[in-house]
A and B are shown apart, each in its own frame.
Chain A
């Protein structure tokens, strides 16, 4: 096995989870690239030519190039120093969809003292570590190496995308942050593993017929139940209600914000119960997932019963998320 791959695997074992990773000189590794080694050979070649021809100017050039090499090493390391990485809020996805994780890159405060006028970081490469470890040369289709500049005082948002294979909390694989800048003679890199709040819902099953048990404790259906189909009157606007339903004309007449109410035709209320379904755990979760999506789409009010937890009847985005999250995290430790 390649030494660099071995090294990388060894380093990856030492990566610790963090909410936010700050790159310090302790955590940055640096090694010459293949080109860097050729450059060193070139400098030695020029130096031996200088000795051989006894030529002072060639001596000077060899030394200047050596100096450039040394300083470029320092600059390559500096180019990663004090960068800070974290993951912003992640939109949950269903299993087997690609998840997009917004990586937030910024320069840490301490670096600001360095050079207020010019302390941008150039060509920072970000990639999943395992890709680099497995095929260092071959870039997989899933996530290519991404490059970005980071200006001082600005946050750079880089969407990482990754396929998902499993419901539950999403564990972001370790990332390798690297740079070749300025001359490509050295590669500075570090591995980070970031925590995130991403949840992957179970994969919804195909549509299927299921007659859910009606909500036993539901209070009256019909006229009182609110829906979207038939106009039934006005009520005062509550924050959170759809803006479409505001009676703007009344607002223009300075009668305050009124919201139109509708009586729904098929306004149902029911429980989605684990026990009513059959099959193994994943199958039931998939089916429940499908039912929740459909219920939310139809504007029904629904509750969820799974072993160990019950979520009361309600509706709306947040409710849906709670239900799906409960499914996602079911028996995941």
Chain B
């Protein structure tokens, strides 16, 4: 087989140099599968085993080929390989076109391209591999945009470019390959400012240009549109950041920090869910919601940087009155006052909100009130009974709500992260037997009680509280801040105009009945679990505190870096661009941008020139510089003077070619030799030399 291959190869390449060239290039070709593997790595980690195996075996095949062990497949085997690839893709993704499927297809395609490389002169295939490599690198940003990945992608772009330049160095040439590393370094040093200028001033058109197929496969994180006993307390252990907040001014007090999320209306007594939200407002990108929410009290403005959660909720402090954001498209407020994006949030999203923490929500439809009264038949009978007794004995809704809250306060209810499992009639079990639960137990049982007593009520989930980052002066809301509370309808009539009122039954539990692990902050929990410190018995309490503080500081610094990254790099959009223009004292429109773009590019090139001339000035002394100018003039006039020729030789050549300039040539060379070999510096001589070189204007001769 090998012999056959060799014979064929020699036949193919009529010239021996070609064969030698291919051998020399082997090292570059051996590197190709390696770099491809690195480029594909982030995709491969999430790809299925079959795809992984397929890609690795193709890459191995090519590596073995470059080592001269096995030949590349012929046309027929390549065709079979393509069929296998298609089979694997269909097995994994079906016939559905999704982002993930197309990325897998792309990954397989680039590997199969390797199989088609004929020889080192095969520019078409090799360039295609490089270009696909660039493209695949960039698709990584669709999944994650963190700093580490960005560095990874940037490094790989540099390596790819280096390899591309190595490929353009033909092997016949004599200088070593690493010789051109410096050149590629320069290429990047010069390309980077161009990229930065374009990044800052290129007009940002708010997308999307075309609608994207949504990926059903990626799983959501955080709160969802379903709630059941244990669903929220599962989140609490997660230290993941849900969103970061920059407040303009001080944040509101802790008891106002309710970040509204999914509102749950439907229940079967165990599971809470919601109907398809109806839009209350029309879909416009910048909204003033003050008309809908009768706000009182001071407004608070802030920017939310929401981590992608693959769902539609945009979290905001209750209640938002004004929302603005360029990356969110067509968001709206639903009839139950959820702030929703039209599409799922797959990327880091930033939006500005103004909220009033005191508000009245007294708009509601009849349907809504009716569904907020539905008590699931044949579930939680004891809850129903208790509610009914309150309805009979108490006159107003207000009194019923108070009775409900007092029930939690007076009975021995405990607030715990690890309640017992409650499967059938969880509300009954919680209210009358276990009496130990997390916020979802409190909220759902309270809402059921209220509904039984004839008070329209619903469950609201979201986040509660904030955690300050001391380093960056911003706030963090984590998954562990997930919370569930209740909302009751106190009417919009002659007796009461309060409308929907937030009631948090967990707030009724006195501190002594809250279990310690809830108080423990996330950082404290983390510092001992992830640092893996086994109690550190030898350290004193003070040392422990300082160690903890150091750890906290470090953690916050890292998060601050991430936040700045999110804010200024990932969140750089039209709004930030306009802000930058205003800061620079320009009016924010696209004409300014074009002007700035062209202006700064021109400035950049002038800067490059200045640096070039500065280095030129540094590197050469003036006399030599003018001597070179003299030689350059001669060469431009048709001589071919080499640098390694001495001044005397130059003189003879020049006089021979330009006898009419004999006197000045003689004088210039004479001066040069005198200046060069004189023991003392003679300024007059130097000045004369320079003026003579300046005056020397030989006519061009063929």
A197 at the interface (CB under 8 A from B): no
Are A184 and B167 touching (Cβ within 8 A)? yes
* A52 and B327 alpha carbons, distance in the complex (Å): 10
* A151 and B644 alpha carbons, distance in the complex (Å): 13
10 further contact pairs, Cβ within 8 A, besides A49-B138, A56-B572, A182-B180? A54-B208, A54-B573, A63-B202, A64-B154, A68-B187, A84-B635, A146-B172, A148-B173, A180-B168, A183-B165
Count, A-B residue pairs, CB within 8 A: 200
Give A194 Cβ to nearest chain B Cβ, in Å.
Answer: 10
Are A35 and B127 touching (Cβ within 8 A)? yes
Give B159 Cβ to nearest chain A Cβ, in Å.
Answer: 13
* Contact flag A60-B191 (CB < 8 Å), given A118-B182, A147-B173, A181-B168: no
Chain A contact-residue range equals: 35 or more
Are B175 and A151 touching (Cβ within 8 A)? yes
Give A155 Cβ to nearest chain B Cβ, in Å.
Answer: 7
B168-193: CB near A (< 8 Å → 1, else 0) gives: 11101111000110111011101111
Are A68 and B702 touching (Cβ within 8 A)? no
* Contact flag A123-B639 (CB < 8 Å), given A48-B209, A68-B187: no
> B569's contact among A56, A112, A144, A180, by CB below 8 Å, is which?
A56
Are B127 and A54 touching (Cβ within 8 A)? no
> A120's contact among B175, B643, B702, by CB below 8 Å, is which?
B175
* Contact flag A61-B138 (CB < 8 Å), given A68-B187, A109-B631: yes
Give A87 Cβ to nearest chain B Cβ, in Å.
Answer: 10
Q: Which of A18-26, A200-208, A243-251, A278-286 lines the interface with chain B?
A: A18-26
- Could you list some 13 contacts between A and B, CB below 8 A? A20-B635, A35-B123, A53-B347, A56-B199, A61-B153, A62-B138, A63-B198, A74-B190, A84-B635, A109-B643, A110-B635, A120-B175, A182-B184
Are B199 and A42 touching (Cβ within 8 A)? no
Chain B residues with Cβ below 8 Å from A66 are 194-195, 198
Instruction: Mark A residues whose CB is within 8 Å of B.
Output: 16-20, 22, 24, 35, 38-39, 42, 45-46, 48-49, 51-68, 70-72, 74-75, 84, 86, 106-110, 112-114, 116, 118, 120, 122-123, 144, 146-149, 151, 153, 155, 180-184
Are A64 and B570 touching (Cβ within 8 A)? no
B145 at the interface (CB under 8 A from A): yes
* Contact flag A122-B175 (CB < 8 Å), given A35-B123, A56-B572, A182-B184: yes
* A315 and B175 alpha carbons, distance in the complex (Å): 46
* Contact flag A51-B207 (CB < 8 Å), given A84-B640, A113-B628: yes
A-B pairs, 5 with minimum CB distance: A20-B640, A67-B191, A67-B194, A63-B198, A110-B632
Are A149 and B175 touching (Cβ within 8 A)? yes
- Chain B facing A: main interface SS: helix
B14 to A, closest residue via Cβ? A141
Instruction: Mark B residues whose CB is within 8 Å of A.
Output: 15, 123, 127, 131, 134-135, 137-138, 141-142, 145, 150, 153-154, 157, 161, 164-165, 167-170, 172-175, 179-180, 182-184, 186-188, 190-196, 198-199, 202, 204-210, 212, 326-327, 347, 569-573, 612, 616, 619-620, 625, 628-629, 631-632, 635-636, 638-644, 702
Chain B residues with Cβ below 8 Å from A148 are 172-174
Of A52, A114, A122, A153, which is in contact with the most chain B CB atoms at under 10 Å from its CB? Answer: A122
> B187's contact among A48, A122, A182, by CB below 8 Å, is which?
A182
> B135's contact among A46, A53, A106, A120, by CB below 8 Å, is which?
A46
* A65 and B134 alpha carbons, distance in the complex (Å): 9
